[in-house]
Chain A
Amino acid sequence: MASISLRNVVKKYGAATVIPDLNLEIEDEEFIVLVGPSGCGKSTLLRVLAGLEAIDGGDLMIGDRRVNDVPAAKRDIAMVFQDYALYPHMTVRQNMAFALEMRDLPASEINAKIDAAAKLLDIHPYLDRRPKALSGGQRQRVAMGRAIVRDPQVFLFDEPLSNLDAKLRGQVRAEIKTLSRQLRTTMVFVTHDQIEAMTMADRIVVMKSGVIQQVGTPEEVYEAPINLFVASFIGSPSMNFLPITLEGEQLRLAGGDSLPLDSGLSTGVSGPDLILGVRPEHFEVVPEGQGIPAEIMLVEPLGSDTLIHVRAAEQDLIARVSPDLRPVAGGSVFLRPIAGKAHLFDSATEMRLIGKNGK
C-alpha cells in the first residue's frame, strides 16, 4: 500500500558497478515484474528495495518516506525468498508469528492474523509442522503466509517459483495473481522466466546489465519491444531476426529473396544495416511465389500448434503454424510475415524503428 520511487539509484560491489543509474516509478497497488537474464541486476534491485543492500547513490522512496538509510527491519516490507528461508527450528505457526512478535502484537491478534492467512492459503493442516516436514509447494505457501500476515506496505518476491515443478508453478502463478488482487498491495516480483513476467505483471521491467531496457504492460513489451534485446527476451520461442536491405518498397533478404515492404513498417529510412524481426507466430504459410522459400529442418508438434524449424534467407528461423498443415521435416513451405506484425530494427543502435503508423 505504497508507491515506490527509485531516482538515479547506483549500486556498486567494490569496483564493479552493478546498477549504474536507475530510475523507476512503481505505483501504489501495482504488480511489477522485474525480468532479465542472470546477472542483469534484478535480484540486486530487489535486495536494494528490501534494505538488504545499501545503495551508493540516488534516492529510494517508499511512499513519501526516503528509506536510503532505513534498515530492512524498519522498512515495513515483506519478502518471499527463492529458497523460502523458513526458520527450520520453528513450526509453521511460529514462522508466521515471528514478525508479529517482533512488533509486540498481542497473542490474540497474532493468532487471528495467522488463522486468516492460513485460510487464504489453505495451510491450516500444517500449522504445527516444521518446514522439514513440508513439500516444496507447501513451503512456498508458508513463505507467502509469513509475508501476508505482516500486512506490509510492499511485497517482494525473489524468484519464488523457480524451485517448483512445472505443474505446480503454473498453479502458484495463478494463486499469486489472485492474491495480489485480494490484498491490493504493491508487489515487486523478480524472475528470469518471461512467461511468469507476461502472465502476472501489471507492468514488466526488462533489465540488462543493470540498465532498464523497457517498462511497459505485457502487451506493450510484446507488441512493441523497444530494442533487439527486449524483442529477443520476451516471447517464446524467441523472435526471428533477418538482416535486410531496404530498397524502395522492397525488403531485400540475404540470399536474394525479397518481400514487399509492409505499409506499417514504412519509416522513410532506407539502405542496408536493418534487421527485420518476426515472431514465430507472426509467420503465415502462403502459396509459392508470395513468400520466402523455407526448407523444414525440424518439426515440433505442441498439440495446439506446431513449431517448424526452417532454413530460409540463409537464417535458421522458427515459425508457429497450424497443426492441420501436417508439415514434415525435409519438406518446404513459403513463409511471409503477417501484415502489421513485423518489426524493423536498426542494426547499429539495435533500437526498433517506429513505423509511420506510430507502432
Chain B
Amino acid sequence: MIAEIGQYALILALVLALVQTVLPAWGARTGDATLMSVATPVAYILFLFVGSAFAALVALYLTSDFSVVNVVDNSHSRMPTIYKITSTWGNHEGSMLLWVLVLALFGALVALFGGNLPERLKANVLAVQGSIAVAFLLFILFTSNPFLRIVPPPAEGADLNPVLQDPGLAIHPPLLYLGYVGLSISFAFAMAALMEGRIDAAWARWVRPWTLAAWVFLTLGIAMGSYWAYYELGWGGWWFWDPVENASLMPWLSATALLHSAVVMEKRDALKVWTVLLAILSFSLSLIGTFLVRSGVLTSVHAFATDPARGVFILVILSVFVGGGLALFALRAGELKQGGLFAPVSREGALVLNNLFLTAATAAVFVGTLYPLALEAVTGDKITVGPPFFNLTFGGLMLPLVFAMPFGPLLAWKRGDLPGVAQRLMVAAGIAVVAAVVTAAAEDRGPVLAPVVLGIAVFVMLGALTDLAERAGVGRVSARVNLRRIVGLPRSAFGTALAHFGIGVCLIGIVCESSWSLEKIAAMRVGETITIGAHDLTLTRMENRTGPNFHARVAVFGIREGGVSQGEVVSGKRLFTARQMATTESGIRTFGFSQLYVAIGDETPDGQVSVRMTWKPLVTLIWLGTVVMAMGGLLSLADRRLRVGAPKPARRRVSPVPAE
C-alpha cells in the first residue's frame, strides 16, 4: 500500500502543479485576487504530496520492499540503515524525486513567507515554480518512475554503488539540490518581473535572501562533494575539473555574481536588467548541471544514469526554460526602467567589476566543460579539456578579482575615493608582502608564483578585517565608541567580511596543498618504515575485516613524529560482494590544519603492498574556508534588513528561511 500511495501522491502532485501553474497566472493576468490566492494553499499541498511520495520511497527502502524495481536495483537488505535511507536518492529516480521535493519545499516557503509580497508578483512567482514542478514531475512519472513494481519480487537487491556507500551521500546531494533548486526562486522572481514588465528596488530585497540561501547551500554542497571525492576516490585530489564538478561550479559563480548585483539593485536601483539576466542564467546553469549529470552525456562517477530517452526529455525541459527565459528577457527587458547613475570608481563600480570577472570565469568554465561535448557531437573527435586550461583561464580571472576584493567594501556608494581606500589597506598589504617574502625565503620548492598567491590570500583576509575596523572607526574615535559601533554593525556587514575572509582562508589551503605537498609511492612489507616530511610511517600489519555487505583488506600504519608515537592510520580496499566491485578506503590523519593521506594499492602474492602517501600542508583550510564563507552567507541572511516588506515593520525576529 505504501508504494501505491507514493505513486498516487506523485500523480496528484503533478495535477496540483498544473493547477498552480495555470490558475494564479490567469489571476495575475486578469487582476483577479481570488484566483491568485489559490497559489498559496496549492503550494502547501503540493509540498505535502511530494513529501509523502518521498517518505513512501524512503519507507520502501527501509523495509527492503523488493517488489519495487528501484529498491531492487539500488539496495541490499544487509546494508546499514543509514545507507538504506541514503540510497533512496543515490540513484537516478530517487535523486530526481529529491530534486522535486526541494523545489516543492521552496515553493511552500515562498507561499509561507511571501505574505507581504505584492499579490501579483507572488502569484506569478508561484506559477513559474509550478511550471518547473510540472516539467520535472512529468519527467519522473514517464521516464524515471521510482514506484514501478516487479512480479515476482526477487529476494535480494543489487546493492548500492559501493562508491556511494558513504556518509557523504547523506549530505552532499541534498545540500547541492537545495542550492540548485533554490536558484529556481530567483529565476521565478525574474520571470515574474518580466511578465509584469515591472521591477523595482524592493524586488531585489525579496530576491536576495533566496539567492543567498541557495548560495550558502551550494557553497556547502560543492565543498562537501570536494571533500568526499578527496577521501573516497583514493587519490587525494580535491578538485578534478570534472564536468560534473564544473556543473556545480558554474551556477555557484553565477549566483555569486547575482548576489552582488542584487546589492547594487537594492541600494542604488541600478543594474536591474543585468540582475534579471543573471537570475535567469544562474538557474539555467543549474538546469544544465542537472542535465549534464542526469542525461548521462558524461561518463564519470556521478553519471549513474544512462538512457537516451531521458536525455532527450531533459534537453526539452532545458530548452523550454532556458530558451523561454531568455526569449522573455529579450522581449521584455526593454520595458524595465533603468535608474541610478554612478561613477566608475565607486562601490557600484567595484561590484560591476566583480560581476564582469565572475561571468567571464563562468564562461571560461562553460566553454571548457561543453566544448569537448560539442566537438564530439559535431565531428566525433574526443578531446579532454584538462586542468591546464582551467588553471590558466579560471585562475587568471580569479586572482585579479580576489586581489580587488578588499577594495570593494571600502569604497563609498556612487563616488568612491580609490587612493583613500588604498591608503587604508596599506597595513593589510604590508603584512601580506611580509608573509609572501617570508614564505618565499622559507620554501625553496614549488612554483615561483605560489608565495605571491599566498600574499594575496593574506591580503584578502586582512582586508576583510580592515573593512570591519574602518566601519567601527578604529583609530579615529575612542575604543569604547569602536566597540559600540562594532556591536551595532548590521549582520550583513559581518557576513560580507566573513565571506571574504573565508575566500582568503580557502586560497591559502589551495596554494599550500598544490605547491608544497610531499608524496611518496613505495612497495612496502610489514615492518618496513617510510619517512615523509616529519613523519615516519611503519606498516604494522595487514588484516582482513568484514563489513555488513563487504569484505575488506586493510593495512595498518603506525605514525611516529620525531620518535614519538602519533597513533595509527588505516587504509584498505573493500570488495562489495553483491556488485563484485572494489573501493579504496584512504587513511587520513589530521595534524593541525594539515593532513597525512595514505592509500594502498594492490598486494602482491609475496606480501608486498603498494602504498601512496602524501603530506598535505594546510589542506583542510580549503574546506574550512568554504565553511567560513557559508557562515558569512548565513549571517547576512539573518540580517534584519532582509526581512522588510511587512506593512508594519516587525519587531519580532523571524528568520526568512526556517531550519531546513
Q: Is this pair of chains taken from one and the same complex?
A: no
Q: Which residues of A contact B (CB under 8 A)?
A: none
